[in-house]
């Protein structure tokens, strides 16, 4: 990552306007070679537009796109070495698997033997060597997925774009394909740019994730950075689950910021993000359920540097290892906390009194409305 | 694609459409109207005037024929709808998946056969020496052959037969698009057969009904072979008058006027039908 | 139980009605077809025995259709006309589909309705209006330049134009419907894989449209073949089959040779119709 051409793809200050609407707003990033890079955002955030600009189907209003260090703005989409896996895969139904994969090679003017060799090679690499003569409608969902990738990879692209290709699959298959995609990316050692609105897909597969909202990149980082050190309230809310409260900073102390939420809950939180917070500011507070310990009320005092609250169990949301309790605090605030449900006598039940503890450091506080 | 290339390709795509509509539809109709407004004052000398239309009004045979054509066409359209709707409903909603395709195809078979052959078939069935009459004689129900041909009933049977497929096809395709759950919900909410039919099925099928009626009506009013072959000498169908003016009398001016009258009359009827049913041409006939 | 019984009775009545309807549909066609095999000089009962004379016999009075010069030439002209109409109307129907599905332009909805209108204009009127215009143009050219444009006089060319004028609406509607269902990302994918615009059109879009183009060509062919109303006014000395048959029926009276022709036409159109159904069968990948 020392020289410029170590970046397969660079976007510099990209903007895209549709009439008066700015779909993509000043987005810049560079992707090191061979990484799995995800762009994560809610639908309508501009991620598809960004991807279509990289592929060449749209032209940026402003900014530059570089592939392997070279600007490609003047290169038409059929000459860019960026290949794309479409949302619904766009496999050609009138051709069989072999012809689908051979299509790009034929366009490039490859010879018969070369095509046969490349198709066989790429089919082996996606572990479907015997399917060359299958018709597209005879393939399973997962096989189609792999053929769509193989069709692109046969052309040795600099970058492979994937536009939510797992969206159409059912849950089980989607889980399996997440791992498979990651393995395929290692296997081909090509830069993958993956677009999704599903945070778990982005977190599981990616080396780097960019969180996009309203046309802008909120934060770019490794998945664990986004999760544990979000820079904005949007990232904290969008990536992973959390309890989210709006409130007002009462006092800025050495060990944290004392916040009173709108419902009247008082917690001590740690400032995250760039905006400075002073007493009286409106703030947003996030606490992830797995950092909240829900226990039966006991005599031991609160741990130092931790928030302690009491409440009653409103309901138990059993989901195996991801089970939760929904706790109602005396002022009516609902707090979600992860628990282990063993099926034994120690489990919490509806109506049980409960004590909640979580550290100040895991109570993320952002200036509201800002950044 | 650059702007210029885009514009050029739009023009190239528009050209065949424009040529077709302009040269084969718009200009010929303008020409026809213009011709109908010419009066012959002396051999090879013409003047502008409404003489051809005045002739039409002054000659009861002419406008009686038009009225007769119109009322028979409306009757045929109504009959086709009454007879065709249950068939379309059966095909779209009651028949099993396999039977549905087969029945629909069977419905289409006569569509693939020329008007002429269909009328010919009816002649063979209905005339005095025809199949039905012979069967009646053979079974002893009558002593002599009966002529079923050359009357209004024969014309109506033949016309309904000719056009009913154009009623059934759009009906099947709209009814097909209606979910069974909608009908079931209708019954579930306490509707009887008639209520469900009147409040749910018919409103839903309205575009198909209107499309079928328009096509049926236009085809009937514009038909030529069936009324002439099945109605014989005195079938008095308006298209026959047009043919007579053009071919037999070689009076193109008056033929053109008759043509325009038929077109104006049918167009007004279709327009009224669309207005009354609250539909438009685009969402009825154009649906495929 | 009584309720269920009335329902069952109603359903039985309904089914009987449907059956009766299909008998009504089939009866004249069966009559027209079966008398072709009756060994009699008239297409009427009683049945005189089975014969193929009305197809293959080469002497009067039972001259078979395959030896009847005029019928054969009618068949030939019908073929020529129908083939030209099918080719032209599918070509224009395809450009119309691209125009209305892929392009935006002012008054698009209006033009779309204009495209449908020819289908609801009575065929007789299409025939006379085109005849009038063509004759006017031909007369004007003759008066001014002394040149006779025989193409604009009744004949095959005008028949083709007359039929084309409304059959193009049918082909346009069929092909437009198919193009509307096309997933644009297929074109983008081909583009992305390095294909040129022309190649995308040739290898992706047109193959996708092919079933609709074939089916609409068949429909156009058949509608042209059986057209009478428009053709009647535009026909010259080269009469297509429907006109020849009509003349025969009106002037000579019907003989079983007309049944033979009907039989051949029905079998031919039936086969073509089956082909068109087969090519339009939704491919399993479509779902």
Residue B287 has pLDDT above 70, yes or no: no
Query: Which residues, 6+ apart, have CB-to-CB distance to C279 below 8 Å?
Result: C210, C211, C214, C215
Residues B75/B220, Cβ–Cβ less than 8 Å: no
Residue B279: the pLDDT is 74
Tens digit of pLDDT for each residue in B223-259?
A: 888 888 888 776 788 888 888 888 888 888 888 898 8
The model's pTM? 0.83
The Cα–Cα gap between B67 and B74 comes to 11
Q: What is the pLDDT of residue A2?
A: 44
Tell me how far apart the alpha carbons of residues C123 and C224 are, in angstroms, rounded to a whole number: 12
Residue of A nearest to C185 (CA): A90
Q: Which domains does chain A have, with CATH numbers?
A: 4-234 (3.40.50.300), 242-367 (2.40.50.140)
pLDDT in tens, C75-123: 999 999 999 999 999 999 999 999 999 988 899 988 998 998 898 888 8
Whether residue A80 contacts residue C189, with contact meaning beta carbons closer than 8 Å, is answered with: no
Looking at residue C176, its pLDDT comes to 93
CA distances (Å), C101 to each of A183, A357, B213, C169, in order?
A: 41, 62, 27, 15
Which of the residue ranges A73-82, B174-183, C256-265 would you say has the lowest mean pLDDT? B174-183
Range name among B14-28, B170-184, C168-182 with the lowest pLDDT average: B170-184
CB C18 within 8 A of CB C255: no
Which residues of chain A make contact with C284, given a CB cutoff of 8 A? 137
Average pLDDT, chain A: 88
The Cα–Cα gap between A89 and A182 comes to 18
What SS3 class is residue A160?
strand
Asked whether the predicted pLDDT for residue A370 surpasses 90, the reply is no
Touching check for A79 and chain C: CB below 8 Å?
yes
A302-335 pLDDT, tens digit per residue, is 677 788 888 999 999 888 888 899 999 888 889 9
Sign of CA dihedral C276, C281, C283, C287: positive
Residue C86 confidence (pLDDT): 95
Question: Which subunits sit against B, judged by 3+ Cβ pairs under 8 A?
Answer: C
Chain C, nearest residue to B213 by Cα: C120
Cβ contact, residue pair C121, B218, below 8 Å: yes
B251, two tokens: 């009076």
**pLDDT at residue number C57:** 74
Write out the two tokens for C39: 């060994």
What pLDDT score was predicted for residue C284? 43
Average pLDDT over residues A93-98: 91
Strand bridging mode A191-196 / A159-163: parallel
pLDDT at B288: 47
CB nearest A83 (choices: C192, C196, C283): C192
pLDDT of A9-29, one tens digit each? Answer: 999 999 999 988 999 999 999
Question: Residues with Cβ < 8 Å from B80, sequence gap 6 or more?
Answer: B160, B163, B164, B167, B212, B216
Pairing outcome for strands A36-40 and A191-196: parallel
Distance CA A147, CA A94 (A): 15
Chain A residues in contact with C194 (beta carbon < 8 A): 78-79, 104, 107-108, 155
- Tell me the two tokens of residue B121: 């078939």
Q: Which residue has better confidence, C241 or B278?
A: C241
Average pLDDT (A191-216) is 91
Tokens of B269: 């009827």
Q: Residue A285: what pLDDT?
A: 92
Q: Which residue of C has its CA nearest to A99?
A: C203
Q: Please, which pLDDT band fits residue C287 given cuts at 50, 70 and 90?
A: very low
For tokens 């947003």, name the residue. Answer: A284
B74-88, C60-74, C114-128: least confidently modelled range? C60-74
- In this complex, the residue of B113, B121, B281 whose CB is nearest that of residue C113 is B281
DSSP-assigned states of every residue in C14-39: HHHHHHHHHHHHHHHHHHHHHGGGB-
Q: Which of B178, B182, B167 is nearest to B92 (CA)?
A: B178
B151 to chain C, any CB pair closer than 8 A? The answer is no
Which chain C residues touch A155 with a CB distance below 8 Å? 193-194
Q: Which residues of B touch C117 (CB under 8 A)?
A: 25, 281
- Report domain C69-253's class: mainly alpha
How confident is residue B190, by pLDDT bands cut at 50, 70 and 90?
low
Q: What pLDDT, on the 0 to 100 scale, is given for residue C82?
A: 94
Residues β-bridged to residue A211: A40, A219
pLDDT at B141 over 80: no
Fold for the domain defined by B53-115+147-284: MetI-like fold (1.10.3720)
- Residue B286: its pLDDT value, please? 61
Instruction: List the Cα angle A365/A366/A367 in 5-degree steps.
Output: 130
C-alpha B21: how far from chain center: 22
Distance CA B125, CA A263 (A): 88
Given pLDDT bands bounded at 50, 70 and 90, which one contains residue A301?
low
Averaging pLDDT over each range in B51-55, C36-40, C83-87, C151-155, which range is the top one? Answer: C83-87
Phi-psi region of A4 (alpha: psi -120 to 50; beta: other; left: phi over 0): alpha
pLDDT at C253 over 60: yes
What pLDDT, on a 0 to 100 scale, did the predictor assign at position C151? 86
- The residues near B186 (Cβ < 8 Å, ≥ 6 apart) are B195, B196, B199, B200
At residue C255, the pLDDT reads: 78
Interface confidence (ipTM) of the complex: 0.84
Nearest-angstrom CA–CA distance, C145 and C137: 12
Q: Under 8 Å CB-to-CB from A44, ≥6 apart: which residues?
A: none
Note whether C205 and C182 are within 8 A (CB): yes
Residues of A in contact with C208 (CB under 8 A): 93-94
Binned at pLDDT 50, 70 and 90, residue B285 comes out as: low
Q: How many CB pairs under 8 A join B and C?
A: 230
The shortest CB-CB distance from A92 to any of C196, C199, C204 is to C204
- pLDDT above 50 for B275: yes
Q: How large a percentage of chain C has pLDDT more than 70?
A: 95
More confident residue, C250 or A369: C250
Q: Give yes or no for residue C251 having a pLDDT over 80.
A: no
> In angstroms, rounded to a whole number, what is the distance separating the alpha carbons of residues B283 and C8?
37
Q: Which of residues 183-222 of B touch C (CB under 8 A)?
A: 214-215, 218-219, 221-222
Percent of residues, chain B, with pLDDT higher than 90: 11
Question: How big is chain C by its Cα radius of gyration, in Å?
Answer: 24
**Is the pLDDT at B143 greater than 90, yes or no?**
no
Residues A356 and A327: beta-carbon distance below 8 Å: yes
Of C233 and B180, which is predicted with more confidence?
Answer: C233
CB–CB contact A78 C195 (8 Å): yes
Interface of C to A at Cβ within 8 Å reads: 183, 185-186, 188-196, 199, 203-204, 207-208, 283-286
Provide the pLDDT for residue A364: 92
Question: Alpha-carbon distance C165 to B51, whole Å?
Answer: 30
Average pLDDT rounded to a whole number, residues C184-203: 91
Q: What percent of chain A has pLDDT over 70?
A: 97
Higher pLDDT, C81 or B63: C81
Best of C184, C194, C286 to substitute, by most chain A Cβ atoms within 10 angstroms, is: C194
Note the pLDDT of residue C257: 82
Task: Tell me what pLDDT residue A227 has.
Answer: 92
Q: Residue A371 pLDDT > 70, yes or no?
A: no
Structure tokens at B110: 């006569």
Mean pLDDT, range B200-207, rounded to an integer:
81
Please report the sign of the dihedral spanned by the C-alpha atoms of residue C195, residue C198, residue C203, residue C209. positive
Establish how many alpha carbons lie within 13 A of residue A358's alpha carbon, considering only the half-sphere containing its beta carbon. 27
Rg, C-alpha atoms of chain A: 25
């Amino acid at each position: 990552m020392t020289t410029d051409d170590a970046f397969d793809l660079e976007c510099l200050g990209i903007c895209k306007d549709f009439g008066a609407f700015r779909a993509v707003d000043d987005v810049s990033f560079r992707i090191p070679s061979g990484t799995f890079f995800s762009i994560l955002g809610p639908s309508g955030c501009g991620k598809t537009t960004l991807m279509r600009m990289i592929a060449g189907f749209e032209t940026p209003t402003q900014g530059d796109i570089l592939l392997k260090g070279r600007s490609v703005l003047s290169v038409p989409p059929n000459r860019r070495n960026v290949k794309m896996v479409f949302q619904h895969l766009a496999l050609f139904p009138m051709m069989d698997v072999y012809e689908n994969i051979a299509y790009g090679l034929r366009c490039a003017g490859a010879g018969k033997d070369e095509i046969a060799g490349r198709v066989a090679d790429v089919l082996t690499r996606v572990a479907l060597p015997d399917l060359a003569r299958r018709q597209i409608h005879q393939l399973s969902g997962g096989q189609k997925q792999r053929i769509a990738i193989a069709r692109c990879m046969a052309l040795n692209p600099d970058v492979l774009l994937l536009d939510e290709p797992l969206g159409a699959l059912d849950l089980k298959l989607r889980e399996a394909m997440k791992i498979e995609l990651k393995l395929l990316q290692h296997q081909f050692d090509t830069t993958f740019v993956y677009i999704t609105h599903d945070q778990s897909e982005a977190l599981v597969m990616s080396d780097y994730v960019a969180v996009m909202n309203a046309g802008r990149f909120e934060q770019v980082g490794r998945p664990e950075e986004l999760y544990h050190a979000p820079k904005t309230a949007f990232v904290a809310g969008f990536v992973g689950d959390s309890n989210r409260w709006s409130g007002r900073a009462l006092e800025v102390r050495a060990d944290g910021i004392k916040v009173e939420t709108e419902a009247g809950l008082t917690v001590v939180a740690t400032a995250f993000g760039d905006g400075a917070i002073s007493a009286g500011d409106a703030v947003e507070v996030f606490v992830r359920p797995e950092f909240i310990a829900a226990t039966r009320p006991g005599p031991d005092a609160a741990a130092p540097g931790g928030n302690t609250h009491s409440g009653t169990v409103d309901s138990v949301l059993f989901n195996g290892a991801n089970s939760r309790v929904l706790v109602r605090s005396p002022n009516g605030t609902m707090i979600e906390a992860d628990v282990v449900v063993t099926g034994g006598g120690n489990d919490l039940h509806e109506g049980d009194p409960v004590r909640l503890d979580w550290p100040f450091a895991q109570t993320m506080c952002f200036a509201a409305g800002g950044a | 694609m650059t702007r210029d290339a885009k514009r050029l390709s739009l023009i190239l795509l528009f050209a065949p459409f424009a040529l077709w509509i302009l040269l084969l539809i718009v200009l010929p109709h303008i020409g026809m109207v213009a011709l109908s407004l010419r009066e012959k004052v002396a051999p090879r000398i013409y003047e502008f005037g409404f003489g051809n239309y005045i002739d039409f009004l002054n000659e009861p045979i002419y406008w009686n024929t038009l009225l007769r054509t119109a009322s028979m066409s409306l009757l045929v359209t109504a009959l086709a709808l009454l007879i065709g709707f249950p068939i379309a409903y059966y095909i779209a909603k009651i028949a099993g998946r396999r039977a549905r395709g087969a029945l629909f195809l069977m419905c289409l078979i006569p569509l693939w056969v020329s008007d002429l052959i269909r009328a010919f078939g009816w002649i063979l069935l209905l005339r005095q020496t025809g199949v039905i009459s012979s069967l009646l004689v053979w079974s002893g129900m009558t002593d002599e052959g009966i002529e079923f041909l050359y009357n209004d009933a024969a014309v109506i049977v033949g016309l309904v037969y000719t056009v009913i497929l154009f009623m059934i096809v759009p009906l099947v395709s709209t009814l097909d698009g209606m979910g069974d759950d909608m009908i079931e919900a209708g019954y579930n909410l306490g509707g009887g057969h008639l209520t469900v039919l009147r409040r749910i099925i018919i409103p839903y099928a309205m575009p198909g009904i209107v499309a079928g009626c328009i096509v049926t009506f236009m085809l009937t009013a514009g038909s030529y072979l069936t009324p002439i072959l099945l109605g014989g000498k005195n079938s008095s169908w308006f298209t026959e008058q047009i043919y007579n003016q053009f071919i037999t009398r070689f009076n193109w001016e008056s033929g053109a006027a008759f043509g325009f009258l038929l077109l104006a009359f049918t167009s007004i009827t279709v327009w009224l039908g669309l207005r009354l049913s609250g539909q438009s041409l685009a969402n009825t006939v154009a649906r495929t | 139980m009584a309720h269920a019984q009335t329902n069952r009775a109603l359903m039985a009545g309904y089914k009987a009605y449907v059956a009766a309807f299909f008998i009504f549909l089939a009866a004249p066609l069966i009559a027209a077809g079966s008398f072709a095999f009756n060994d009699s000089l008239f297409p009427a009962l009683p049945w005189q025995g089975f014969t193929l004379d009305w197809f293959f016999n080469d002497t009067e009075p039972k001259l078979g259709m395959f030896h009847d010069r005029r019928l054969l030439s009618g068949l030939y002209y019908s073929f020529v006309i129908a083939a030209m109409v099918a080719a032209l109307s599918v070509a224009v129907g395809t450009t119309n589909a691209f125009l209305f599905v892929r392009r935006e332009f002012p008054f698009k909805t209006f033009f779309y309705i204009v495209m449908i209108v020819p289908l609801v204009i009575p065929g007789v009127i299409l025939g006379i209006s085109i005849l009038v215009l063509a004759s006017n143009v031909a007369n004007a050219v003759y008066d001014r330049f002394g040149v006779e444009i025989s193409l604009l006089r009744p004949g095959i060319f005008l028949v083709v134009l007359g039929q084309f004028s409304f059959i193009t609406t049918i082909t346009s509607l069929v092909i437009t419907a198919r193009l509307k269902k096309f997933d644009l990302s297929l074109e983008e994918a081909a583009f992305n894989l390095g294909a040129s615009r022309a190649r995308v059109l040739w290898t992706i879009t047109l193959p996708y449209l092919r079933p609709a183009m074939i089916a609409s060509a068949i429909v156009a062919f058949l509608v042209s073949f059986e057209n009478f109303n428009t053709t009647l006014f535009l026909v010259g000395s080269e009469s297509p089959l429907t006109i020849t048959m009509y003349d025969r029926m009106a002037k000579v009276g019907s003989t079983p040779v007309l049944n033979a022709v009907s039989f051949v036409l029905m079998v031919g159109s039936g086969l073509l119709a089956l082909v068109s159904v087969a090519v339009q069968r939704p491919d399993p990948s479509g779902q």
